[in-house]
């Protein structure tokens, strides 16, 4: 539930700043902003995914996975969160988690996106045996 002192518009404005910082490569600052926004509105899916992206850019995949798990607990069919979690699992060296999410996604994503994800797994050198 959103903090009553914050409107959706307030969160949007601050999230724009966090996004801008992320685009500038200022990932730590972006993470701080998105952490604050999640404190203000724990249900904001965009802010959680943006925080996960910042954690990935900071090479902290376990922290990204925590945020993505929350997103997927609330909405298991969220394909973008699941794709990002595959990437986080790969960075964390969690092959089984990446393979499990890939198997869920491979028939739901457009073929181009599924191939991109498969190539990401292959280039990480951690592809599941069934992908060889």
108 with 67, same domain? yes
Within-domain flag for 132? no
From the centroid of its chain, how far is CA 58? 13
Residue 124 banded pLDDT, cuts 50, 70, 90:
confident
Residue 121 banded pLDDT, cuts 50, 70, 90:
confident
Q: Which residue has the higher pLDDT, 66 or 125?
A: 66
pLDDT at residue 3 above 90? Answer: no
pLDDT at residue 125 in the model: 66
Give the integer Cα–Cα distance in Å for 52 and 58.
10
Kind and range of the H or E element at 105? Answer: helix 95-105
Q: Which two tokens stand for residue 102?
A: 């890939």
pLDDT at residue 35 in the model: 98
- In degrees, to the nearest 5, what angle opens at C-alpha 2 toward C-alphas 83 and 48? 20
Which domain does 117 fall in, by range? 61-127
53 with 8, same domain? yes
String of DSSP letters for 35-101: HHHHHH-TT-HHHHHHHHHHHHHTT-HHHHHHHHHHHHHH-TT-HHHHHHHHHHHHHHT-HHHHHHH
Of 64-68, 79-83, 114-118, least confident by mean pLDDT is 114-118
8 with 51, same domain? yes
What's the rounded mean pLDDT across residues 6-10?
A: 92
Global pTM value: 0.87
Residue 131 banded pLDDT, cuts 50, 70, 90:
very low
Mind listing the pLDDT tens digit for each residue in 38-74? Answer: 999 999 999 999 999 999 999 999 999 999 999 999 9
Domain boundary residue among 13, 42, 58? 58
83 with 50, same domain? no
Percentage of the chain beyond pLDDT 90 is 82
């Amino acid at each position: 539930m959103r903090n009553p002192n914050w409107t959706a518009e307030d969160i949007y404005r601050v999230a724009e700043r966090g996004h801008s910082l992320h685009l500038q490569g200022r990932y730590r600052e972006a993470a701080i902003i998105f952490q604050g926004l999640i404190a203000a509105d724990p249900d904001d899916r965009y802010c959680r995914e943006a925080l996960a992206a910042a954690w990935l850019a900071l090479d902290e995949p376990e922290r990204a996975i925590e945020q993505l798990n929350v997103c997927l607990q609330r909405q298991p069919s969220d394909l973008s969160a699941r794709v990002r979690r595959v990437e986080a699992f790969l960075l964390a060296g969690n092959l089984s988690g990446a393979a499990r999410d890939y198997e869920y996604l491979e028939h739901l994503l457009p073929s181009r996106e599924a191939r991109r994800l498969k190539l990401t797994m292959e280039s990480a050198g951690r592809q599941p045996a069934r992908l060889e």
